[in-house]
Amino acid sequence: MAADVRQALEVDKRSAVRVTVCSVTPRNIQRRPLTELQQAILDRLWSSGPATAEQIREALLPARRLKDSSVRTLLRRLEARGYVSHLLEGKTFVYEATMAPKRVAAHSVRQIIDRFWSGSFEQFLTGMVDEKVLTPAEIARLARKIGHAKKGKNTDA
């Protein structure tokens, strides 16, 4: 760390203001789970393709009555987290999803496994079997997919 930055950080350690270099903290780099509303916006973009904030707001009606500014804020936050991007058409932002649903789902499952099973996929799968979430036929199909993946074959069995 440069001497001037180090000095700036040490100026007043008693201050309530906390400074980080480049605003990089674990909270800023970790992906937090999507809220239900953020998920609904992504679902709209995945199902119907690129849309304006107004089109998204209308698609969420009547279940969710949101102000235009609220939708724009949610889209801005999704964009900052890398889930959507926008193009400028005239003076209008047109948003599109930048991550496939499968990737977002995999990330969400990973967060659940980390939170409830300390990152253990084995404990997660054992729990799914114990709670009868997975049927014996599904378990057998998964075993075949794993076997095919090990052999470098297509895993859509």
Q: CA nearest 108: which of 56, 47, 36? A: 36
Taking only the tens place, the pLDDT of each residue in 10-51 is: 444 444 444 444 454 555 445 678 899 999 999 999 999 999
In sequence order, what E strands does the chain have?
84-89, 92-97
pLDDT in tens, 107-123: 889 989 999 999 998 89
| Residue 9: pLDDT over 50 | no
